[in-house]
Amino acid sequence: MNKNDFAPLPPMGWNSYDYYDTTVDEARIRANADYMAAHLKKYGWEYVVVDIQWYAHGAGSMRDRYQYIPFSGLEMDEYSRLLPDPERFPSSAGGAGFQPLADYVHSLGLKFGIHIMRGIPRQAAHAHTPVKTCGAAPSAETSCISDPGAPVTAADIADPSSICGWNPDMYGVRNCAAGQAYYDSLMELYASWGVDYIKCDDICNTNIYPHNPYSARHEIEMLSRAIQRCGRPIVLSLSPGPALIEQANHYRTHANLWRITDDLWDRWSDILQMFARCELWQDHVERGCYPDCDMLPLGRIGGGFGEGQERSTNLTRDEQRTLMTLWCIFGSPLMLGAEMTKLDEWTLSLLTNRDILAMRTPDCRPHQLFRTADEAAWTAFNEKTGEQYVAVFNLSDKERTVSAGDPSLYEAAGAAVPCAADRSADEAPAITELWTGKSYPSLSAALPPHGCCAFRVSR
């Protein structure tokens, strides 16, 4: 497993992408951080993450034609490292980078994160700008360059055959000592800014190469080593998915979380396919290592397939509860994508249900009990508290009664049998439904289309 303990619980926070796409700026980051500190921090929400293209000049200005403007200008330092665009992040001017913004987020008792793309800027490779090697020239055996005593440039370590299929900013980095030195210098810079969380993209599954979807394996390892060397605990998140189940041990050795799906949006079909993905990854949830179900497209969002147009989530309230229930009983990280300053009271209540959020602890090991085309059930037992959780889901388009009371279901799944599962109805077992707070006589419920119930059973 991952050797660090940077994420003892699945991370909870906010990411700018689902609302702002490539256009977020400093004022909006500060406003959302203020909201989180005032309304969500006490429930465990703590990360504020600046997503993609914070370094790009004019990002979002051609959204009617491009999500990512081909080969636009990028803000960069003398060592080929990207910097925040000072037009959108004015406190970064003069080489300050994200340190002033991170300091502000930290002053609120929160943590600060950034999105990065795998690799080194193409702009740097084309200009042959230097790479910081910390004074130690790479050896001839492991160098990407023919003369190990010569200054290293971005062109020496960039691999022009390794690109992202949907973003034009970067080349992959070659697997060599100079490439490692580049990643070391990146993490050195981010640590100096006070970064607590990195979401690295185009690395979990390099899906432009269907015959080699794990072509960035060495860059995951270089990132992991660089974080270990930088002197700051930085949580590492890998995107996009779907993650490769055959690489599960590699993910958990080098990262804290990894996406098990491609971008997930506010469509029932997206939520429905997560039941199969969670089943596939259920045995790989443990302290510090979390298969990631992707962001929560709740509240007011606007990015992705909506092409930047603001909208309320297309998920019904029942579908939103199903999403939150599955993510939590599975133990996924939770990253909200909404503009938080526009959250309504109902959505806020969805995000602040302490009983639902309590299922996320890695002290609970998730188990799928069953799944058909119409229904599913999951369970998780907390060995420390003795509490057991059982969730039942109606996956169909009609009202349906779903039951998880048969002890044989738990035995077949290798899960603890709830003490209430084999009780008769007149014994009044201690079963509480966590969304409503109501007591139930059994682990069975009549559910609306795409609805769920989440039960806590006291042993």
Report whether 262 contacts 244 (CB < 8 A).
no
Which pLDDT value is given to residue 3? 72
| DSSP annotation of 279 | H
Lowest-pLDDT range of 217-226, 344-353, 376-385: 376-385
Q: What is the pLDDT of residue 383?
A: 86
Question: Quick check: 442 and 425 in contact, CB under 8 A?
Answer: yes
The answer to whether residue 2 sits within a structural domain is no
pLDDT tens column, 365-422: 899 999 999 999 999 999 888 899 999 999 999 999 999 999 999 999 999 998 765 5
User: Rounded to an integer, what distance in angstroms lies between the CA atom of residue 255 and that of residue 252?
Assistant: 6
Give the lowest-confidence range in 13-22, 300-309, 332-341, 348-357: 300-309
What residues does 47 pair with on adjacent strands?
13, 111
- The rounded distance, in Å, linking the Cα atoms of 103 and 15 is 18
pLDDT at 423 exceeding the cut of 70:
no
Residue 26, domain member (yes or no): yes
The range of the structural domain enclosing residue 401 comes to: 367-458
Say yes or no: 95 and 227 in one domain. Answer: yes
Domain presence at residue 122: yes
pLDDT in tens, 384-399: 888 999 999 999 999 9
195 with 67, same domain? yes
For 269, list phi and psi in degrees, rounded to 5: -60, -35
**What is the model's pLDDT at position 151?**
87
Q: At 141, is the pLDDT very low, low, confident or very high (cuts 50, 70, 90)?
A: very low
Q: For residues 363 and 311, is the Cβ–Cβ distance under 8 A?
A: no
Quickly list DSSP for 436-451.
T--EESSSEEEE-TT-
Q: What is the mean pLDDT of residues 28-39?
A: 98
**318 and 235 within one domain:** yes
Position 115 in a domain: yes
Whether 111 maps to a domain, the answer reads yes
Helix 177-193 crosses helix 217-230 at what angle (to 10 degrees)? 50
The answer to whether the pTM exceeds 0.85 is: yes
369 φ/ψ angles, rounded to the nearest 5 degrees: -85, -45
Q: Cα(29)–Cα(123) distance, rounded to whole angstroms?
A: 27
Together in a domain, 357 and 372? no
Separation between Cα atoms, residue 34 and residue 40, nearest integer Å: 10
In whole angstroms, give the CA distance from residue 390 to residue 364: 11
B/e letters for 341-350, b = 16+ CB within 10 Å, e = fewer, are: eebeeebeeb
Number of domains the chain contains: 2
Of 345, 362, 379, which one is at a domain's C-terminal end? Answer: 362
Q: pLDDT (tens digit, 9 = 90+) per residue, 435-451?
A: 999 999 999 999 999 99
Would you state the pLDDT for residue 2? 62
DSSP string, 345-395: HHHHHHH--HHHHGGGSTTEEEEEEEE-SSEEEEEEEETTT-EEEEEEEE-
Q: Cα separation of 351 and 231, whole Å?
A: 33
Q: Could you tell me which residues come within 8 angstroms of residue 433 by beta carbon, excluding any fewer than 6 positions away?
A: 439, 440, 445, 453, 454, 455
Q: What is the pLDDT of residues 161-216, one digit of tens each?
A: 999 999 999 999 999 999 999 999 999 999 999 999 999 999 999 989 999 999 99
Q: Where are the alpha helices (DSSP H) in 128-267?
A: 154-157, 177-193, 217-230, 248-254
- Asked if residue 146 has pLDDT above 80, the reply is no
Q: Please check whether residue 182 is in contact with residue 173, taking contact to mean a CB–CB distance below 8 angstroms.
A: yes
Residues 333 and 388 both lie in one domain: no
Residue where the block lists tokens 């600046």 = 50
Same-domain status, 191 and 284? yes
